[in-house]
């Protein structure tokens, strides 16, 4: 599917594609004694170029989501790759991002999903990622491309957002500890006129040690 997006390149991020491998701007947000979020603004430079390439080349799909007994189209488009797919299949910037993050956080990432929020009516509801069901303390890294959107966090079982980020244009967000099990996150809809945003989410389903068990 060719993605139809109103894409306004930013004035600042059309340069060469590069990663801040020194993580100079990174700050850790401690959610509580078990969970944290690392936020590194501008981790990816040249993010407009990556956005453009993905918008044109990725195989976008509209997945479905089950809400009670109804199956509805997800309000965003998604494309996915396995990190060990053939060299020419995974776009090079995504492969590099996954490799650097795997080295820094000592996990073996195995899956990359890219989500495309075409405008303010695209969103993802409050949730914790499902890899929490097959392993403890899964790490989820997200690199945002394009327009900034609100990214909120709340404790599971509560309704008030306690943390708010606005990632876009190459910012990195890494959720760790018990964040997927004990916290939830969302990118809510907005009535404001916003450009398109992508989130490159890099996930693993096994820790580097190979330790793996089912959460009860």
Q: Which is nearer to ligand AKG, 102 or 173 (CB)?
A: 173
Q: Which is nearer to ligand AKG, 192 or 209 (CB)?
A: 192
Nearest to 64 by CA among 82, 77, 51: 77
The distance of closest approach from Cβ of residue 36 to ligand AKG in the complex, given in angstroms and rounded to an integer, is: 16
How many other C-beta atoms lie within 10 A of the C-beta of residue 11?
A: 7
Helices (H), the chain: 47-57, 92-105, 179-182
The distance of closest approach from Cβ of residue 124 to ligand AKG in the complex, given in angstroms and rounded to an integer, is: 5
H or E, element range at 22: none
Alpha carbon separation from 28 to 36, 106, 160, 201 (Å, rounded)? 7, 17, 21, 19
The distance of closest approach from Cβ of residue 193 to ligand AKG in the complex, given in angstroms and rounded to an integer, is: 19
Q: Which is nearer to ligand AKG, 187 or 196 (CB)?
A: 187
Judged by DSSP in three states, 132 sits in: helix
The distance of closest approach from Cβ of residue 87 to ligand AKG in the complex, given in angstroms and rounded to an integer, is: 25
Q: Which is nearer to ligand AKG, 79 or 124 (CB)?
A: 124
CA 59 to chain centre: 17
Applying CB under 6 A, the residues found at the interface with ligand AKG are: 115, 124, 129, 142, 151, 185, 187, 199, 201
Q: Which is nearer to ligand AKG, 20 or 129 (CB)?
A: 129
Residue nearest to ligand AKG (CB): 199
The distance of closest approach from Cβ of residue 1 to ligand AKG in the complex, given in angstroms and rounded to an integer, is: 18
Kindly tell me the burial class for residue 113, based on how many C-beta atoms sit within 10 Å of its own C-beta (0-12, 13-18, 19 or more).
middle
């Amino acid at each position: 599917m060719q993605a139809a997006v109103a894409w306004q390149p930013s004035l600042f991020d059309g340069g060469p594609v590069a990663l801040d491998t020194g993580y100079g701007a990174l700050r850790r947000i401690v959610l509580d004694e078990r969970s944290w979020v690392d936020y590194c603004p501008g981790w990816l430079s040249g993010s407009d170029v990556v956005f453009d390439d993905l918008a044109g080349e990725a195989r976008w799909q509209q997945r479905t989501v089950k809400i009670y007994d109804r199956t509805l189209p997800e309000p965003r488009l998604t494309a996915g790759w396995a990190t060990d797919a053939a060299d020419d299949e995974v776009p090079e910037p995504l492969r590099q991002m996954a490799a650097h993050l795997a080295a820094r956080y000592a996990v073996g990432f195995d899956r990359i999903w890219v989500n495309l929020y075409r405008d303010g009516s695209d969103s993802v509801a409050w949730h914790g990622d499902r890899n929490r069901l097959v392993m403890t303390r899964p790490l989820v890294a997200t690199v945002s491309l394009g327009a900034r959107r609100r990214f909120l966090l709340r404790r599971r079982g509560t309704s008030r957002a306690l943390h708010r980020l606005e990632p876009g244009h190459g910012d990195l967000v890494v959720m760790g500890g018990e964040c997927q099990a004990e916290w939830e996150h969302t990118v809510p809809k907005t009535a404001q006129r916003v450009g398109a945003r992508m989130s490159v989410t890099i996930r693993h389903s096994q820790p580097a040690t190979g330790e793996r068990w089912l959460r009860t």
